[in-house]
C-alpha cells in the first residue's frame, strides 16, 4: 500500500493508463483532490485494500504540477510497429485531437490542425491514418437505434452513453445495478478498430494480426479500454495500443519534425471523415446532440430541423445540462453530464428524476479536457476553446448527421447489413461486468 495514501492517490504498478515517478512527487495532494472532488473515486473505497480502485481517467496526471504522474508511454511500441516490415500500421485519430495537437507546438487551443496531424503521422512512417469521426458516426447509427428500440419496446431506460471508458468502469465499479442502462455500443474507437480488423484487413488482403491498429486520443482511459477482454478476437486485440496527444507531440519533437512547416494531408480514403455529428463527439453534449439528429431522422424520415442541428441547451461549459426533444410522439428527456462526481449525484437521485437518455463523459467538458491532452495553467479556457473549434468545424460541414454519411450507408450495405443486425451486434457491440472493490 502507498505510505502516502493519506495525501495522494495510490497507483497500481500494472495500471495501463498512468504511472508515478516517485522522485518527482512533492506530496502536494492535488491528484487526490481532483480524484475525490471531480471524479468521485478517491474517498469512495477503502485505501487499506490491496486492490486499488481507479477509473483510468488521467485527471490526476493533468493536475500534477511536477509531472510526477504521467500517462503510460506507448511511443516506443508505436515506433517498433512502424519499423517492423511484416506489419502495417493504421493510426485512428479521435475527434478532439485535431483541435489540441497544435498546442504541443505553441499554436492556440482550438486551432484546427487535422491536415498537419495526418502529415505528421505519415512522416513518422504510419501506413494509414483514419478518422475516428467515421467510427463516431457508426456509434450513432447503433446508439440511436438502440434508444428507439428501448423506448418502443419498453426496455430499460434511461439509456446511458458508453463511449467513455472511465464512465463505463465507474458504473461497473460503483453502480453495477445500472449496467443494463449502459448502451451496449462500443466506443467509436472500439467500433472503428473492429471494422478495420474484420473488414478493411480483408479488403487489402492482410492477416488482421499483421495490421496494428493504434488509437491517437485525448484519453488515457482508452489504454485501459484497449486491454478489455470483451474487445478481443481470434487475432488478439482490436485496438493494439493507444497514444495520447502528449505522446504524439513528444514523438514529433524527438524526431525533429517541424509541425509548423508540415503541409496538410487528407485522411486515407478507405474510411473518409465522418459527419459534423462525429466531429462534435469530442465535447460534452456532442454525443447526445449527434444521437438526437439521427434518432429524429430514424423516427420521422425527415432531416432534423435547424434547432436540432445547433442544440443550444446541450452545449456550453456546464457540468449538468438538461433538455428534451419530441420523438415517437413523446417528450424524450435528456441529461448531459461531465465529471463522474456529478454523475454520482445524478445517479443517486435517479429514481425521482425521469430521463430517457444520459450522456456522461468523465473529463472536464468531455474529451476536449481528457487526461492525455496538452497540459495547461488555464485548463478551463482551453477546454472551452477546443470545444468551440469542434462546433465551428461542424457548422462548416455539409454532412451534419451520421445517417447522411454515404460511406456509412455503403458500409452497412456491404458488410453490416443494418443497425442492430446480428453482424452489427457481433462487431459493434459489447458487454460489461460488475467489479468488486472494498468499501
Assess whether 237 carries a catalytic annotation. Answer: no
Q: Whose Cβ is closer to ligand SF4: residue 163's or residue 424's?
A: 163
**Is 222 one of the catalytic residues?**
yes
Report CA-CA distances (Å) from 321 to 238, 313, 317: 34, 7, 9
- Alpha-carbon dihedral 340, 342, 348, 351, rounded to 10 degrees: -110
- Please say if 183 is a catalytic residue: yes
- 375 binds ligand SF4, rule: CB under 6 A: no
Which residue of the set 169, 197, 222, 321 is catalytic? 222
225 an active-site residue? yes
Query: Which listed range, 133-141, 217-225, 240-248, 419-427, lies at the site for ligand SF4 (CB under 6 A)?
Result: 217-225
Angle, CA 236 vertex, CA 234 and CA 238 arms, to 5°: 105
- Binding ligand SF4 (rule: CB under 6 A), the pick from 40, 59, 245, 304 is 59
Q: Which range of residues in 138-146, 213-221, 233-241, 393-401 is near ligand SF4 by CB under 6 A?
A: 213-221
Three cell numbers, residue 423: 453482424
Q: Classify residue 439 by burial, with Cβ atoms within 10 Å: 0-12, 13-18, 19+.
A: exposed
CB of residue 369 vs ligand SF4: minimum separation in angstroms? 7
Active site residue 164: no
* Nearest-5° Cα angle at 222, 216 to 226: 100
Does 366 bind ligand SF4 (CB under 6 A)? Our answer is yes
41 near ligand SF4, judged by CB under 6 A: yes
Say whether residue 135 binds ligand SF4 (CB under 6 A).
Answer: no
CA 321: distance to chain centroid? 19
Catalytic residue, candidates 183, 193, 244, 402: 183
Residue 183 CB, nearest approach to ligand SF4 (Å):
14
Q: Classify each residue of 107-120 as buried b or exposed e, where b means 16 or more C-beta atoms within 10 Å of its C-beta.
A: bebbbbbbebbbbb
Binding to ligand SF4 (CB under 6 A) within 107-126 occurs at none
Cis upstream peptide for 151 (omega within 30°): no
The whole-angstrom separation of Cα 392 and Cα 412 is 29
185 closest CA partner among 93, 329, 281: 281
* By CB under 6 A, residue 100 contacts ligand SF4: no
Decide if 219 is catalytic.
Answer: no
Asked about 36 being catalytic, the answer comes back as: no
3-state secondary structure of 162: coil
> Which of 241, 204, 212 has its CA nearest to residue 88?
212
143 is an active site residue: yes
Question: Residues near 274 by Cβ (< 8 Å), separated by ≥ 6?
Answer: 131, 132, 133, 134, 135, 136, 137, 402, 405, 408
The reply on whether position 337 binds ligand SF4 by CB under 6 A is no
The answer to the question of residue 27 lying near ligand SF4 (CB under 6 A) is yes
For residue 1, state whether it binds ligand SF4 (rule: CB under 6 A): no
For position 343 contacting ligand SF4 by CB under 6 A, the verdict is: no
185 lies in the binding site for ligand SF4 (CB under 6 A):
no
DSSP 356-386: SEEEEESSTTGGGG-TTSPP-SSHHHHHHHH
- Of 99, 136, 363, 384, which one interacts with ligand SF4 (CB under 6 A)? 363
Q: Is 92 in the site for ligand SF4 (CB under 6 A)?
A: no
Interface residues toward ligand SF4, by CB under 6 A: 8-9, 18, 20, 25-31, 34-35, 39, 41-42, 54-60, 64, 66, 68-69, 164, 166, 218-219, 221, 361-363, 366-367, 370-371
Residues recognised as catalytic:
143, 146, 163, 183, 222, 225, 230, 367
Amino acid at each position: 500500500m502507498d505510505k502516502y495514501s493519506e495525501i495522494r492517490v495510490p497507483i497500481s504498478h500494472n495500471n495501463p493508463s498512468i504511472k508515478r515517478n516517485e522522485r518527482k512527487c512533492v506530496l502536494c495532494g492535488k491528484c487526490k483532490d481532483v480524484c475525490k472532488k471531480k471524479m468521485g473515486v478517491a474517498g469512495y473505497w477503502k485505501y487499506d485494500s490491496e486492490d486499488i480502485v481507479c477509473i483510468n481517467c488521467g485527471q490526476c496526471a493533468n493536475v500534477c504540477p511536477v509531472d510526477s504522474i504521467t500517462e503510460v508511454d506507448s511511443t516506443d511500441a508505436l515506433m517498433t510497429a512502424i519499423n517492423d516490415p511484416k506489419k502495417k500500421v493504421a493510426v485512428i485519430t479521435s475527434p478532439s485531437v485535431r483541435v489540441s495537437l497544435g498546442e504541443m507546438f505553441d499554436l492556440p487551443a482550438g486551432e484546427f490542425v487535422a491536415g498537419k496531424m495526418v502529415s505528421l503521422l505519415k512522416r513518422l512512417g504510419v501506413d494509414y491514418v483514419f478518422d475516428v469521426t467515421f467510427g463516431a458516426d457508426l456509434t450513432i447509427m447503433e446508439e440511436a437505434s438502440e434508444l428507439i428500440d428501448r423506448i418502443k419496446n419498453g426496455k430499460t431506460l434511461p439509456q446511458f452513453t458508453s463511449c467513455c471508458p472511465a464512465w463505463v468502469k465507474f458504473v461497473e465499479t460503483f453502480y453495477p445495478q445500472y449496467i443494463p442502462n449502459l448502451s451496449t455500443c462500443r466506443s467509436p474507437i472500439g467500433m472503428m478498430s473492429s471494422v478495420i480488423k474484420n473488414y478493411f484487413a480483408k479488403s487489402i488482403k492482410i492477416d488482421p494480426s499483421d495490421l496494428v491498429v493504434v488509437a491517437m486520443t485525448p484519453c488515457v482511459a482508452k489504454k485501459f479500454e484497449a486491454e478489455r477482454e470483451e474487445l478481443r478476437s481470434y487475432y488478439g486485440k482490436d485496438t493494439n495500443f493507444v497514444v495520447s496527444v502528449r505522446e504524439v507531440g513528444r514523438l514529433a519533437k524527438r524526431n525533429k519534425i517541424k509541425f509548423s512547416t508540415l503541409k496538410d494531408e487528407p485522411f486515407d480514403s478507405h474510411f473518409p471523415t465522418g459527419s459534423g455529428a462525429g466531429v462534435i463527439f469530442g465535447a460534452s453534449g456532442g454525443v447526445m446532440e449527434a444521437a438526437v439528429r439521427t434518432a429524429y431522422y430514424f423516427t420521422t424520415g425527415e432531416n432534423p430541423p435547424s434547432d436540432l442541428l445547433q442544440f443550444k441547451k446541450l452545449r456550453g461549459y456546464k457540468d449538468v445540462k438538461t433538455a428534451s426533444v419530441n420523438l415517437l410522439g413523446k417528450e424524450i428527456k435528456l441529461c448531459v453530464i461531465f465529471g463522474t462526481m456529478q454523475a454520482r449525484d445524478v445517479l443517486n437521485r435517479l429514481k425521482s428524476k425521469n430521463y430517457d437518455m444520459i450522456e456522461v463523459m468523465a473529463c472536464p467538458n468531455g474529451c476536449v479536457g481528457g487526461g492525455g491532452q496538452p497540459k495547461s495553467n488555464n485548463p478551463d479556457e482551453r477546454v472551452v476553446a477546443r470545444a468551440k473549434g469542434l462546433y465551428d468545424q461542424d457548422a462548416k460541414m455539409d454532412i451534419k448527421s451520421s445517417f447522411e454519411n454515404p460511406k456509412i450507408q455503403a458500409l452497412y450495405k456491404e458488410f453490416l447489413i443494418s443497425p442492430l443486425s446480428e453482424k452489427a451486434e457481433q462487431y459493434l457491440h459489447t458487454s460489461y461486468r460488475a467489479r468488486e472493490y472494498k468499501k
